[in-house]
Amino acid sequence: MPLTHSDALIRETARAAFWQNYETWPNMFDGLVQLVRSSADQETYPWLGYAPKMQEMVGTKVAKPVPNYDWTIKNKKWEATVAIDYETRKYAKLGAVTAMVGNLGQKARMFSQSLLSTLVNNGVSTACYDTQFFFDTDHSDPGARYTTSQDNDTTSNISNPEIPTDLEFAAACRTMIGKLLSYLDNEGDPVGAAPGTKFICMVPPTFYPVANKVASVDSLTGPVGNDLRNAFEVRVNPFLTVPTSSHGYFQMYNPSGARKPYILQIADDVTLEDNIGMENDFMTKDVYFSAFGYFNVGYGDWRYACSHDFT
């Protein structure tokens, strides 16, 4: 079918609105995700083990195998499709197209973040590469030289887990940052954080006021000097589990390493497609705009993430 001037305007407007909203929507997981380009329906990650430590050379060099973890992430197809009805199309109601397809772009951008947030929410009950829960009290790499268990799932008991005080929140942050600075790899070498690292504190919306206070003010209630001022960046994640009267989760991350706590595995980036001029266009006179992607997410290295549960 020939492309009319109205159709050309609809297509141009839709594509511009989609990509503008897609590209400008902020990424809550910036710095926390290992981006992997996938060339198969699934990928296996043997590199989650660490290299051996240096040792004195006596005679010849001694090659040591890196632990090989059977950790696989399978890609999935994802789509979201909106219909532009005949009247909107015929009269080139570009405002309606901009609003609808622009929102589609925003949601396509948010979707991978919602998948990653599901990993966060399920981290206390879902295994990662070492067969332990991602947030757990007894991580120990199978077959590693260093086998002492390590903990990235911390807790504290407070009177109201839904609304921690600034002192309670600060104490939890100190605990988590201390953990992130103390983790050792499977060789027993420190992972640590690069000098000047600003940690990332990810919180549900209800924790934002207290988190922002602890991250920015000179003094806490008391008054007590605030050693955590500018120590971390606060990121509000609306997909996180909402605190309840018995639990209140939030997380602290070390973004400084080459390794990351989460993996975004992409076989096909998000694309925008339409059916203008195709058979369904001929049959119904409505046209569709569809976002499509082929990707998935999974857990990476737990040493760069620590969770806290107020109980």
- pLDDT number for residue 245: 92
Integer Cα distance of 265 and 42 in angstroms: 9
User: Taking Cα atoms as reference points, which of 29, 23, 21, 11 lies closest to residue 104?
Assistant: 21
Residue extents of the structural domains in the chain:
156-261
**Alpha carbon of 126 to those of 129, 131, 278, 281: distances in Å?**
10, 9, 44, 45
Cα angle 283, 289, 291 (rounded to 5 degrees) comes to 135
The answer to whether 8 touches 276, Cβ cutoff 8 Å, is: no
What is the chain's pLDDT, residue by residue, as a tens digit (311 residues)?
A: 556 777 788 889 999 999 999 999 999 999 999 999 999 999 988 766 666 777 777 777 776 666 666 789 999 999 999 988 877 766 667 888 889 999 999 999 999 999 999 999 999 999 999 899 999 999 988 777 888 999 999 999 999 999 999 999 999 999 999 999 999 998 899 998 999 999 999 999 999 999 999 999 999 999 999 999 999 999 999 999 999 999 999 999 999 988 999 999 999 999 999 988 776 666 567 888 999 999 999 999 999 999 999 99
- pLDDT number for residue 305: 98
The answer to whether 179 touches 152, Cβ cutoff 8 Å, is: yes
- pLDDT number for residue 47: 64
**Alpha carbon of 207 to those of 153, 166, 235: distances in Å?**
18, 10, 10
Residue with tokens 């005679």, as numbered in its chain = 59
Give me the long-range contacts of 2-7 (CB less than 8 A, separation at least 24).
Answer: 2/277, 3/276, 3/277, 6/89, 6/90, 6/91, 6/92, 7/89, 7/276, 7/277, 7/287
Q: At what angle do helices 94-121 and 5-24 cross, to 10 degrees?
A: 30
- pLDDT number for residue 49: 64
Exposure string of 11-43, with b = 16+ CB inside 10 Å and e = fewer, is bebbebbbbebbeeeeebbeebbbebebeeeeb
Q: At what angle do helices 208-216 and 166-182 cross, to 10 degrees?
A: 70
- pLDDT number for residue 140: 87
